[in-house]
Structures are given as structure tokens and as C-alpha cells.
């Protein structure tokens, strides 16, 4: 089976005349269409808001585009807060969900008016000492422990996760927060990553909805918003069936009406915090075949490496590859597609059946629109690539330039030893 790129060979040839490979390319039309579909799927909930997970694609142009479509920002670090603020996302449009959080990050989140989502029971005291008070609006992250299952079987193991309060801590935490002056409460939970199942959100929702009813009974705190976080995934494999966001929204609505409405909680807002689902399929890594090697295996070397896309090296993750211009050619050659790092796991594909690849061919590595560029690093002194937006009218814009050696050496600019390099 195959995947169809959102860009043609002819358009890539036009882009590469101006911007050399490798680069990440994003599909503005796809991102906008998907963001509007998410909003529509949850339009039954008056207070719904999608908080885009900035960590997935931390580019201000993309964050701003999604904000214009009604999305807020899910931030987890100082710089993500700064980026959100810079593009005009402020106040309760920001959800600050962090862990092991430095004091200065809580301070900035509070200054911006963000909703702070506490990850741990001990952070209640830490936050109060840091800010001098507890904010009137506060959220807590729940971890039920054990194994998380849905109708499709085991999804993940929250008991091994470093995130969130236990149930006992949560109940006690809300009591303490209320005593310390908090007036508006939320709850958040993330139990599984990259689920390709319409059951995940409804299953998680039922757990949280039932817990919210109990929280009100035990603590007197009325939860005003429930954040289902992320975890809604994308089909990296070409034979996987994509999630249906409308079925997911319908499933959450059914549980909402089953659990919350009879408990007198029919005005609770639903938040989501997706990243991968929002942008993942609408980005690709474009790279050029520059070498071939014939030893114990057949290798194709490309000008990208794990610096540009870490997931295959880090997780053994599958990313589909299209050899542009050869979409209909038989996949009768077995290759390892590799980068140039001094690490043997720097491979985008292992034993992958592809059309015959020749030096100079353009390869599209699919589904890098989230956790692609974002996870890049500078091992071996490699430089991060450019990011380019393909607009709906066929034009394209540079939205992040490629790094240069001067960028790499910039943090040595206060030392004489490196001055000649950074000039």
C-alpha cells in the first residue's frame, strides 16, 4: 500500500530551486481543514477549546494560524510560553501543563494569565511559595495508575508514567486548593499516546466524567472544565484506518450526556490538547538521495539524518517514504535509507521495499508535521533544516530558515577561542 504526498514532484522541484534539501514542508490547506473539523466535531459543547500542543510543532507561524482558527496553546516550557505570547495567545487561551517545573516557568505562566495545570500534589505548596498565592483558576492532572484499557484492548500503562496525581492525592488536593482561595477548577489526564482508535477519548472521558461527579460530592469543588489532553494519533502505516474525529466527538458527547448531565454538570467545558492529530499528516521531510552503498545490504544515503527526524532512530517508528516521480513504479528494491550521523540507528527505513532509487531522486518522508522538526538536535554538529509552508494557492513561504554554522557556534560568542569561527 502507499500514501499520496500532498505535494507534487513539479512543486518540489520549484521549491528546491530556492531552498535546498533537506527541509520540512507543511500543508496549510490540510492543517486548516483539520483544525476546523476538530472544532466542528465538538461544537455540541459550548465551552469547547482545542489547546494546540506547541511541543509538537513549535513554529510561531503555525501557532498563529491555529490561533486564528480558534485554538489556544498547550505549553510546557518557558520558551513555549514566550512563543505563544509573541503571537498574541494570552490569558486562558494558554494551558500550562508542565512537570518537574522550575519556579520561573510558573511565574511567567501566571503573568500571562495562563491556566496552570499542576502535575503533582507537592506542586500545590511549591506554587503557593513561588507566586505568593494560589491562582483563582487551577487545574490538576490525574493518573489512575494500573493498565489503561479500551474496547480494543490495552492501550498503555499509566502506572509507569511519571505524570499526575493519584486519585487520593487529587481529592485531597482540590480540598486544599479550595481552602487556599482557588475558585474555578479543572481536571486533565493523558493516559495513552498516538492511539489510532475512535474509542480512546470516549473511554478516557467516561473515567474523568465519573471522577468529576465524585470530586464534587467529596470536596464540594465543581469542576468547570475537563481537559482530555492529547493521545489521538495518526496512521503512520499506510494500511491503518485514520481516526474519525466526528465519531470521537460523538462518542464523548454520548458519555457526557450519560454521566455529567444527570449529575447537574451539563455546562462543563471540554478541552482537548492535541498536537500530532492536528498537524502530523500535514508535514513531510523532503530529502535528496546523494549516495548508494552495496555491501551486506543495499543502502541509500540521503542528505537528511536523525537530526531532522529522530522518531525512527529513537523509537523504531515507521514513516512511509515516497520516491517522487516513481509513485507508480514497482517496489522491487530492498533498501536501508540512512543519514550521515555516526550512529548505526540513523536510518529512516530498514529493509524497506521501494522503487529503484537513483542519486538525485527526491524522497518525501511522510507524517512529520508533529514531533518531526521539534525533536531535532545538533549531534555531530549537524544543523537543523528549514521549514517551509505550502500555501493553499500553491505559493510557498519560508517559515524558519536553516541553521548555519554561526548558529551552532553562537553560544561560544563570549569566548575569544571561537571568535574567528563565528565571524
Q: What angle do CA 383, 386, 390 make, to 5 degrees?
A: 160
DSSP string, 295-343: SSSEEEEES--TTT--HHHHH-----EEETT-TTS---EEEEEE-SSSS
Residue 137: pLDDT band by 50, 70, 90 thresholds? very high
Q: What's the average model confidence in pLDDT over 297-314?
A: 97
- For CA atoms 328, 329, 330, 331, the dihedral sign is negative
Is the confidence at residue 18, as pLDDT, over 90?
A: yes
Task: Give 363 or 155, the one with higher predicted confidence.
Answer: 363
> What is the structure's pLDDT at 154?
43
Instruction: State the span(s) of the chain assigned CATH 2.40.37.10.
Output: 281-412
Is the confidence at residue 165, as pLDDT, over 50?
A: yes
> What is the structure's pLDDT at 130?
98
Mean pLDDT of all residues in the chain? 95
pLDDT in tens, 192-228: 889 999 999 999 999 999 999 999 999 999 999 999 9
Task: Give 406 or 150, the one with higher predicted confidence.
Answer: 406
Which fold does the domain 28-278 belong to in CATH? TIM Barrel (3.20.20)
Residue 423: pLDDT band by 50, 70, 90 thresholds? low
> What is the structure's pLDDT at 150?
59
pLDDT in tens, 143-152: 988 766 655 5
Instruction: State the span(s) of the chain assigned CATH 3.20.20.10.
Output: 28-278
Q: What's the average model confidence in pLDDT over 248-258?
A: 98
- CA-based nearest residue to 16, from 391, 400, 386, 405: 386
Residue 421: pLDDT band by 50, 70, 90 thresholds? low
> What is the structure's pLDDT at 152?
53
The highest-confidence range among 143-152, 157-166, 391-400, by mean pLDDT, is 391-400
**Three cell numbers at 203?**
473511554
> What is the structure's pLDDT at 420?
65
Residue 107: pLDDT band by 50, 70, 90 thresholds? very high
> What is the structure's pLDDT at 151?
52
Q: What's the average model confidence in pLDDT over 296-317?
A: 97
- CA-based nearest residue to 19, from 400, 306, 407: 400
Q: What's the average model confidence in pLDDT over 318-340?
A: 97
- Catalytic residue list: 342
pTM higher than 0.75 for the full model?
Answer: yes
Residues 26, 387 contacting (CB under 8 angstroms): yes
How many residues are given for the chain?
423
Q: CATH class for domain 281-412?
A: mainly beta
**Three cell numbers at 286?**
523532503
Q: What's the average model confidence in pLDDT over 409-419?
A: 83
126-129 long-range CB contacts below 8 Å, 24 or more apart?
126/101, 128/180
pLDDT in tens, 116-130: 999 999 999 999 999
List CB contacts of 65: < 8 A, sequence separation 6 or more: 28, 31, 32
Which 3 state secondary structure label does DSSP give 169? helix
Residue 354's DSSP bridge partners are 333
pLDDT in tens, 54-68: 999 999 999 999 999
> What is the structure's pLDDT at 418?
73
Distance in angstroms (rounded) separating the CA atoms of residues 289 and 153 = 41
> What is the structure's pLDDT at 2?
87
Q: What's the average model confidence in pLDDT over 96-106?
A: 96
E-assigned strands of 295-375? 298-302, 321-323, 333-338, 347-354, 362-365
Task: Give 419 or 389, the one with higher predicted confidence.
Answer: 389
Q: What's the average model confidence in pLDDT over 385-410?
A: 96
Is the confidence at residue 27, as pLDDT, over 70?
A: yes
The DSSP H or E segment spanning 137 is strand 137-141
pLDDT in tens, 257-300: 999 999 999 999 999 999 999 999 999 999 999 999 999 999 99
pLDDT in tens, 337-379: 999 999 999 999 999 999 999 999 999 999 999 999 999 999 9
Amino acid at each position: 500500500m502507499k500514501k499520496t504526498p500532498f505535494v507534487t514532484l513539479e512543486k518540489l522541484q520549484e521549491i528546491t530551486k530556492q531552498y535546498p534539501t533537506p527541509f520540512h514542508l507543511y500543508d496549510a490547506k490540510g492543517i486548516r481543514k483539520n483544525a476546523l473539523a476538530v472544532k466542528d466535531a465538538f461544537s455540541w459543547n459550548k465551552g469547547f477549546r482545542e489547546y494546540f500542543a506547541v511541543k509538537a510543532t513549535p513554529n510561531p507561524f503555525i501557532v498563529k494560524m491555529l490561533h486564528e482558527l480558534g485554538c489556544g496553546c498547550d505549553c510546557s516550557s518557558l520558551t513555549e510560553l514566550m512563543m505563544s505570547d509573541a503571537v498574541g495567545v494570552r490569558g486562558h487561551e494558554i494551558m500550562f501543563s508542565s512537570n518537574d517545573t522550575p519556579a520561573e516557568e510558573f511565574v511567567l505562566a501566571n503573568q500571562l494569565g495562563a491556566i496552570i495545570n499542576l502535575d503533582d500534589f507537592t506542586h500545590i505548596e511549591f506554587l503557593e511559595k513561588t507566586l505568593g498565592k494560589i491562582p483563582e483558576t487551577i487545574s490538576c492532572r490525574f493518573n489512575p495508575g494500573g493498565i489503561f484499557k479500551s474496547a480494543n484492548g490495552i492501550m498503555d500503562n499509566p502506572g509507569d508514567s511519571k505524570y499526575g496525581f493519584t486519585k487520593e492525592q487529587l481529592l485531597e488536593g482540590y480540598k486544599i486548593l479550595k481552602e487556599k482561595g482557588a475558585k474555578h477548577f479543572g481536571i486533565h489526564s493523558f493516559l495513552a499516546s498516538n492511539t489510532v482508535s475512535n474509542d480512546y477519548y470516549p473511554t478516557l472521558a467516561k473515567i474523568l466524567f465519573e471522577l468529576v461527579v465524585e470530586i464534587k460530592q467529596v470536596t464540594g469543588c465543581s469542576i468547570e472544565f475537563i481537559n482530555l489532553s492529547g493521545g489521538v494519533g495518526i496512521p503512520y502505516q499506510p494500511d491503518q484506518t485514520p481516526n474519525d474525529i466526528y465519531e470521537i466527538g460523538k462518542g464523548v458527547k454520548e458519555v457526557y450526556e450519560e454521566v455529567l448531565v444527570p449529575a447537574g454538570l451539563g455546562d462543563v467545558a471540554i478541552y482537548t490538547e492535541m498536537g500530532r492529530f492536528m498537524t502530523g499528516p500535514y508535514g513531510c521531510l523532503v530529502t535528496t538521495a546523494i549516495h548508494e552503498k552495496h555491501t551486506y545490504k543495499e543502502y541509500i544515503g540521503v542528505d537528511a539524518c536523525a537530526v531532522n527526524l529522530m522518531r525512527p532512530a529513537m523509537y523504531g517508528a515507521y514513516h512511509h517514504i515516497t520516491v517522487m516521480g516513481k509513485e507508480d513504479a514497482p517496489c522491487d528494491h530492498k533498501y536501508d535509507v540512512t543519514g550521515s550521523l555516526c550512529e548505526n540507528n540513523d536510518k529512516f527505513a530498514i529493509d524497506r521495499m521501494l522503487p529503484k532509487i537513483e542519486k538525485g531522486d527526491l524522497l518525501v518522508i511522510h507524517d512529520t508535521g508533529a514531533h518531526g522538526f521539534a525533536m531535532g538536535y545538533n549531534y555531530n554538529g549537524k544543523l537543523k533544516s528549514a521549514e517551509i509552508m505550502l500555501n493553499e494557492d500553491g505559493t510557498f513561504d519560508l517559515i524558519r530558515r536553516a541553521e548555519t554554522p554561526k548558529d551552532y557556534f553562537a553560544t561560544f560568542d563570549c569566548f575569544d577561542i571561537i571568535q574567528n569561527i563565528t565571524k
